[in-house]
Amino acid sequence: MSRGFQALPPAQRQLAASIGSLTRWSRVTSQADRTAALAPARAARQRQWERKADPDGVLAPAELAAAVDRLKKAHYRRMALSSAQTRRRASA
């Protein structure tokens, strides 16, 4: 029998995670501390984009940066399209 956080139904798990997140970030009072706390996550996400853009690691730094930029633009435009489609279906 599963116990603890994983045993909760999804809606309760989301609520518990939200409480934890709000509590954690309530202790971070300066912008510099928030930036520092998120730096490892930002760096990891950047590495993911770079691996996706250049899985073989052969691009020059400038080419890699441009490829990552294009991937990010495509990603956010896909999200915007999906959001617009969802809103259109909801209003119909």
Please name the amino acid found at residue 64: L
C-alpha separations of 31 from 6, 13, 15, 26 in Å: 32, 28, 25, 12
Full-prediction pTM beyond 0.85? no
Between 61-91 and 31-53, two packed helices, what is the crossing angle to 10 degrees?
100
pLDDT, tens digit (0-9, with 9 covering 90-100), for 10-61: 999 999 999 999 999 999 999 999 999 999 999 999 999 999 999 999 999 9
Which phi and psi angles does 58 have, rounded to 5°?
Answer: -110, -10
Whether the Cβ atoms of residue 53 and residue 68 lie closer than 8 Å to each other: yes
Contacts of 54 (CB under 8 A, 6+ apart): 64, 67
Q: What is the pLDDT of residues 54-87, one digit of tens each?
A: 999 999 999 999 999 999 999 999 999 999 999 9
